[in-house]
Structure 1
Amino acid sequence: MRYYSIIGLFFLFTHILCNAETQSTSDVIKIKVVTEESYPLQYSENGKIIGPATTLVEQVLNAANISYEIEIMPWARAYRVALNEPNVLIYSLAKTPKRTNEFKWVGEIMALEYYLYGSVDSHVNQQTTLEELKEYRIGTIRDSAVFQYLNRNNFKNLSVTVKGMQNIMLLNAKRIDLFPANKSTFKESCLEHALNCKNIVPVYKLDMPAINLFMAFSQLTDDALVEKARDGYNQVISERKKLIDLGIN
């Protein structure tokens, strides 16, 4: 009888140890977080990745007790990594109809409205038709939401770049006529990168809904991990709202 009791205890402890090992393994999963240089939302400075979007992502993952490492790379590469690899979080990602089922969405970062920017002497204005716009050379970032919008609307005269600041230089060099940008970050980007933007102005508001920027996981990410991040997001947003109600910014 004592022999069987010892055997029973052995299997009990083995079961407990296996469960503990499984639990610790899941707890130490380190996700890859990918993003692009997009001042002032997220950008690198003195070897660190900072900006308000980065701050929110870090707060969410810390609240969810998820280990992570953030890497900045060209947008097209970040997008490709998030499409094809497990345990990847990408930000700031526009939630478009095409992308809805391609990612597991955590929460919104902010909303942006996009304009076509051109030189101060541009003949483009809000009365310019979509067909007339197609005659102009337009710079855009590969795989961005605006790039996909222009493709859907059969724009063919596109100059594809890796970073938004390249479009400013191309416009100044008269190699393109227009490029998309949002008013929320355009001026700050010019100042940050010491670019000459004094003769560049918004000339045409794109006929597309405000783009909602999100943090989202790759489809190959485990649902339990995604739910942990969503819980962390709700916790952080709730705490931020409380601070706003108290008048603390």
Structure 2
Amino acid sequence: MKRVLFSAPSVRRLLLAALACLSSPAPASDRIQIVTEELPPYNMTEDGRLTGMSTEVVQAVLEEVGVQANIQSMPWARAYDIALNSENVLIYSIARTRQREQLFKWVGIVAPMRWHLYSLPQRNIQLRRLDDARRYQIATVKQDAGEQHLLARGFAIGKNLQSSNKYAHNYEKLTLGRVDLWIANELNARYLARRAGAEVPVPVLSLPDLADDDGLSMAFSLQTSDALVERFRQGLKTVRDNGTYATIAKRWL
């Protein structure tokens, strides 16, 4: 048998190549950035750990499709801007509105959602239609679906909208009488009221036309491959079909 001899430099190159293969990162097509906000109980930080119903669903989908990625929580306006302008970005929990339909590649619903205008019961505010709310001060979150909905209908920040970066701030402003109304989704409003141990605001006007879906979604930036988006759609479908979604929802709803 003829022996093949390797020089020391050749051996070193072979070893380095082998180590590179073992430690190589995931394919570029699988590397994604995930952004969200503090929207309890959908997504929130507790004891330094990101949790919430939507977060658990997203984590289950990641496991299903075999993709590892860190989730970053930040003010919604920043998360929204990153998802609009960067490649391979997954954003949740995002309302699928007509205004946003062509701005993202939609994966699917991760949690239920119903939007209302809220007030305190002692204020006895009665609204028959959205136009009736124009004479009141309304708390909104910068760039979220509620604020975008009102801006598109002629409401204005500094006139009848008070915009902030956190949902909890808006609940505080309502209870302190700094605003008359608060636009929020039902699960978030109930959660913040229970956590504060304060009076629960009452919905004075439902907003069924705010979103095209009956829930909050996960979506990718437009600069993401269709193949990767489809993998996540199938992953979410599997999570729903195999009972994982129902198990998560039971813990939070």
- For normalisation by structure 2, the TM-score amounts to 0.79
The residue number in structure 1 matching 2:170 is 167
Match of 2:163, SS state, is: strand
Offset at 1:242? Answer: 10
Of residues 220, 227, 234, the one that matches 1:231 is 234
Aligned match of 2:131: 131
| Offset at residue 49 of structure 1 (A) | 0.7
- Stretch deviating more after TM superposition (90-99 or 170-179): 170-179
How far, CA to CA, are the matches of 2:26 and 2:65 in structure 1?
A: 16
Q: Which amino acid aligns with 1:124?
A: I
Q: How does 1:104-143 map to 2 (within 5 A)?
A: 104-127=105-128, 129-143=129-143
Note the C-alpha offset of 1:122. Answer: 2.0
Amino acid at match of 2:148: Q
Paired amino acid for 2:154: N
Q: What are the equivalent positions in structure 2 for 1:36-47 lying under 5 Å apart?
A: 36-47=37-48
Q: 2:140·2:170 contact (CA, 8 Å) conserved in 1? A: yes
1:132 deviates by 2.7
What is the alpha-carbon distance in structure 2 between the residues aligned to residue 198 and residue 242 of structure 1? 31
Distance 1:74 1:202 in 2: 25
State the partner residue of 1:186.
Answer: 189
Residue 103 of structure 1: CA displacement? 0.6
CA RMSD across the alignment: 2.7
Instruction: Give how far 1:191 is off.
Output: 3.0
Tell me which moved more, 233-242 or 48-57. Answer: 233-242
Deviation for aligned residue 1:184: 2.4
Task: Name the CA shift for 1:69/1:178 in 2 (closer, same or farther; >3 Å).
Answer: same
> In the alignment, what sits opposite 2:51?
50
Q: CA deviation at 1:174?
A: 2.0
The percentage of aligned residue pairs carrying the same residue is 34
Q: Which moved more, 1:73-82 or 1:43-52?
A: 43-52
Matches within 5 A, 1:26-41: 26=27, 29-41=30-42
Say if 1:188 and 1:207 are closer, same or farther in 2 by CA, change over 3 A: closer
Aligned length: 224
Q: Which runs of 5+ in 1 are unaligned?
A: 1-16
Determine which of 219, 223, 237 is the counterpart of 2:222. Answer: 219
Conserved 8 A contact 2:118-2:183 = yes
* Structure 1 residue 102, shift from structure 2 partner: 0.7
Provide the C-alpha distance between the structure 2 equivalents of 1:153 and 1:48, rounded to a whole number of angstroms: 38
> Distance in 2 between the 1:241 and 1:66 partners?
18
Instruction: Tell me the amino acid that sits aligned with residue 108 of structure 1.
Output: I
* TM-score, normalised with respect to structure 1: 0.80
Give the secondary structure class of the aligned counterpart of 1:54: helix
In structure 2, relative to structure 1, the CA distance for the partners of 1:199 and 1:227 (3 Å cut) is: closer
Change (3 A) 1:198 1:225: same
Check whether the contact 1:168–1:197 (CA below 8 A) recurs between aligned residues.
no
Aligned CA distance change for structure 1 residues 241 and 171 (closer, same or farther; 3 Å): closer
